[in-house]
Chain A
């Protein structure tokens, strides 16, 4: 104890305002669990947190492979954290190959501290020993300092099979380095392993303590991350869990889905608790049946939800067209991934905006919203349900893999009956009111529901008149299409112009949507600090677009979007624009510029800073107008 106490005095205490930690391992070694636990603990202690999953594409990729890197990035701070950030400050790697994968991804940088399990240096297989040795030299030549940590051999002192346990030992180590409240950690562990029994809990507590004690005596640094006291109740979860809870808060009772990454975990979260609020998850035979079932349930009175990702959206478009044409309320969650086709199933992309916008042949106007935080993932579902019913049609909520797996604390929402769906109206229908009694100005109409006496009508996907009679008269289609279209104008008239982040006028306005908000605002803040005249604007409604954009854009010399979908770089004559830029150019007739990347990961703020600096440079040289 004396030596330990003496050592502790030698440990350098560094005060930090934020840090990025990564834990990476082979798939199945529990780095994700350890990362999630660490993030939760930090959130519970009052820190700002944003976590990102590092996921291999396969369930059981080969051991010690770069493609198999699995784990978690946890960005923690004194203040709220809004994105995954740039280079990691501390990385714990279970082998050198997974570390390579993170270096290739640009996750590390100068100054990143690397803690690497040294078990490979005495591995019985010579080629593994050599690979390890080679990698160590390689890392050193890249300028990284590696701290070899006897993770596995220390775990052997506690358990017979360290493969199942290294992660918790590492969690203990992190808790020492970041001075986490060990009692809180123990409570979380007990909760996590409750279902596996007391023996599992005890073993993990022992591993935790061993990792903690080892770091206390061997690590030469501790980080002090202050918290701001805030007693307001908060929740911590990922975006897909937030959507699941939002679905319950919306009073939605049917979630109809077909498994697809990265959307499926919404239904996992729902399936574990939906029955407690009287709902159920329908796993349909395919994507088409999933939305068809939801449309049927909605038609019968209770607005349903379907959740999908790009390839599923492609299959659902025919029913989306029907929901627009026959005006059936429906909530469609699209957790976007890389596309086209099977694309990048586990990776981040925002390239379904136009697919959603144009989903269905023919003229199919629909509402499209995009939450920008985990908190909005929760709140947008009840909102989408209400809009779907009021505007009688499908409402898209576009999230992405970044929000789906990102974990962030947010204020606990107040529950109220107001967000729950009303009971199915079974009152007698006034037969004077037609089933599509479109209001001339708004396009809105009340909807009879099966069971309502005198409300009988046959819904049809054919062009139809106010009575839902098949249109044999050519003027009906013009009128009906006009009415459906006018609903978007009606909604837009109720929206407020979006708030500019930063000065209300200046040289450059950066427009974004969805999960990029945190990174864009962080980059813009940095540039503002450097004296640049840059502001940001984030859109939640993509269809209809929020009002007042022309007026806001006119106050800036240049307007550009930042997005995670494809665009050509530079102002070439036949340039293809990023998707929001495409919409904004069409909507405002302003020469909106863009910068976008499709590399599969969340845009780091430093990359945005660099891209924006380049744009500002080009603008000031007058290279583009």
Chain B
């Protein structure tokens, strides 16, 4: 597992997004056990406290659950995973729409551009 950290952003947020990505793309499956703080810290070469904080935040968002004496697991609630997926999709969309608006595209134009782009891809 490798992750290029951007030192301009809080590292715990970057690890959170990384783990969310692994869950959404199915590399981590519902109910999978996840690495311990120690293991993840040495694999990512960062401070164990930062990993600890990441897990706390993921627990707060109910993406990860701790089973006493057994470790941490990816939530088995499909709807939580769907929520993360929607949030991540929304982030991508927001960025895309802002980018298109900066280029001068408006609502209908954006839709048309997307439709055309998808159409081209389907045609390939």
Report if A and B associate in a common complex: no
> Which residues of B are at the interface with A, using a C-beta cutoff of 8 A?
none
Name A residues whose Cβ lies closer than 8 Å to a Cβ of B. none
